């Protein structure tokens, strides 16, 4: 589904991703762990199409199509979703109006008519209930004044509504208490089918108790330095990242 080959990316001439290789197949859940500043968020932004970053080498192929020329919205229409590590506050745009714009943009890209209002209400209601989001939230401005946990839950709510093929969750677990974590995990697990894939970026092993990964990667200084099964996460939890400095690998 997603094939990343020798990906290099930089910002302001500073190289941040230094040759990433990654292959994710339909139905799989991959986790990427690694110390702060190693480039995990950069990788997710580059996959989602953030223009600030220059892709200097390599390729990102999603379902057979090279992505580098596509706008962020086109990537979204193809089924890529990024749950932001730091969701942006947008005062003045309500969650509902935002979701309406997003849903209809997806439909338009697929040659469909706008979704009917009652159908949309039903969809939004169903998904917000699944994620235990209070209705009052939906009329509030997007992320404005939301707590850290509320923002993350809102990201997963958007994911649940848009039903992407590939969901990239960038530290969606940080700042969540255990109950919220379970709700978020439920949302993610609901999305899991043999056709969808999830890329989890996390610091903690904790989330992986609820969403079992098939593959775990360790990223250090812009490179994936180790790849293993889910037991690798436990090992990292115990030993930290020190033993995995890139020059030793």
Partner 1 sequence: MELKDKLVSSFLAFEEEFGGENDDLHNIRNQAIQDFERIGFPAKKEEAWKYTSLNSVLKHDYSFFPKKDDSLEYRDIKDYLIDNIDTYDLVFVDGVYSSHLSQTTHDKIDVCLMSSALCKAPYKAVVDNYFNKIAPKTGLNALNTAFTREGAYIHIQKNKMADKPIQIINLSTGKESAMLLQPRNLIVVDENSHVQIIERHQSLTDRPVLTNSVTEIFAAKRAIVDYYKIQNDSTSASLIDNTFIEQQSESFCSVHTFSLGGKLTRNNLNFYQKGEHIDSTLKGVTLIEGKQHVDHNTLVHHIEPNCESHQDYKGIFDGNSTGVFNGSVVVEKEAQKTNAYQSNNNVLLTDKATINSKPQLEIFADDVKCSHGCTIGQLDEDALFYLRSRGIPKREAQGLMMYAFANNVLESVKIPELKKRINKLIAEKLGVEVGFSL
Number of residues that bind ligand ADP (CB under 6 A): 11
The two tokens of residue 214 are 């098939």
Least Å from the CB of residue 82 to Mg ion: 12
72, 196, 197 from 110: Cα distances, Å: 16, 18, 21
Stretch that binds ligand ADP, among 20-28, 38-46, 98-106, 136-144 (CB under 6 A): 38-46
Among 38, 41, 96, 172, which residue sits at the site for Mg ion (rule: CB under 5 A)? 41
Among 3, 5, 10, 11, which residue sits at the site for ligand ADP (rule: CB under 6 A)? 11
Alpha carbons 232 and 64: distance in angstroms, whole number? 30
Stretch that binds ligand ADP, among 34-42, 111-119, 120-128, 191-199 (CB under 6 A): 34-42
Residue-wise DSSP of the chain: -EEEEEEEEEETTEEEEEEEEEEE-TT-EEEEE--TTSSHHHHHHHHHT-TTSEEEEEEEEETTEE-TTS-HHHHHHHTEEEE-SSPPPEEEEEHHHHHHHHHHHHHHHTTPPPPPHHHHHHHHHHHHHHTT--HHHHTSEETTT--HHHHHHHHHHHHHHH--SEEEEESTTTT--HHHHHHHHHHHHHH--TT-EEEEE-S-SGGGGTS--SEEEEEETTEEEEEE-THHHHHHHHH-SGGG-GGG-
51 binds, among partner 1, Mg ion, ligand ADP, none (CB under 5 to 8 A by kind): partner 1
32 binds, among partner 1, ligand ADP, Mg ion, none (CB under 5 to 8 A by kind): none
Binding mask 42-61 for ligand ADP (x = CB under 6 A): x---------x---------
Alpha carbons 128 and 134: distance in angstroms, whole number? 7
Residues 71-100 touching Mg ion, rule: CB under 5 A, are 85
187 binds, among ligand ADP, Mg ion, partner 1, none (CB under 5 to 8 A by kind): none
Alpha carbons 105 and 81: distance in angstroms, whole number? 14
Report the residue number, 87 or 213, with the smaller CB distance to partner 1.
87
Report the residue number, 10 or 94, with the smaller CB distance to Mg ion.
10
Least Å from the CB of residue 129 to ligand ADP: 32
Among 16, 31, 60, 95, which residue sits at the site for ligand ADP (rule: CB under 6 A)? 16
Question: Which residue from 227, 172, 180, 226 is spatially nearest to 201, judged by alpha carbons?
Answer: 172
36 binds, among ligand ADP, partner 1, Mg ion, none (CB under 5 to 8 A by kind): ligand ADP
- Asked whether position 196 contacts ligand ADP by CB under 6 A, the answer is no
162 binds, among partner 1, ligand ADP, Mg ion, none (CB under 5 to 8 A by kind): partner 1
- Asked whether position 36 contacts ligand ADP by CB under 6 A, the answer is yes
Binding site for ligand ADP (CB under 6 A): 11, 16, 34, 36-42, 52
């Amino acid at each position: 589904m997603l094939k990343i080959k020798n990906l290099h990316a930089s910002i302001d001439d500073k190289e941040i991703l230094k040759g990433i290789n990654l292959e994710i197949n339909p139905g799989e859940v991959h986790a990427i762990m690694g110390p702060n500043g190693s480039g995990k968020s950069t990788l997710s932004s580059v996959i989602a199409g953030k223009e600030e970053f220059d892709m200097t080498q390599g390729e990102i192929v999603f379902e057979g199509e090279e992505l580098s020329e596509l706008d962020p919205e086109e990537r979204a229409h193809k089924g890529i979703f990024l749950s932001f590590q730091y969701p942006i506050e947008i005062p003045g745009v309500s969650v509902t109006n935002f979701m309406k714009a997003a849903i209809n943009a997806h439909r338009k890209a697929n040659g469909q008519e706008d979704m009917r209002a009652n159908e949309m209400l039903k969809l939004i209601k169903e998904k917000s209930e699944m994620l235990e989001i209070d209705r009052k939230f939906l009329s509030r401005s997007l992320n404005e004044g939301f707590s850290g946990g509320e923002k993350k839950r809102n990201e997963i709510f958007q994911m649940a509504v848009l039903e992407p093929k590939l969901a990239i969750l960038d530290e969606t677990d940080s700042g969540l208490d255990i109950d919220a974590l379970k709700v978020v995990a439920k949302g993610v697990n609901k999305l899991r089918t043999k056709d969808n894939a999830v890329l989890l970026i996390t610091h903690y092993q904790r989330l992986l108790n609820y969403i079992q990964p098939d593959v775990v990667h360790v990223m250090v200084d812009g490179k994936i330095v180790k790849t293993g099964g889910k037991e690798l996460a436990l090992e990292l939890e115990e030993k930290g990242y020190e033993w995995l400095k890139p020059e030793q690998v």
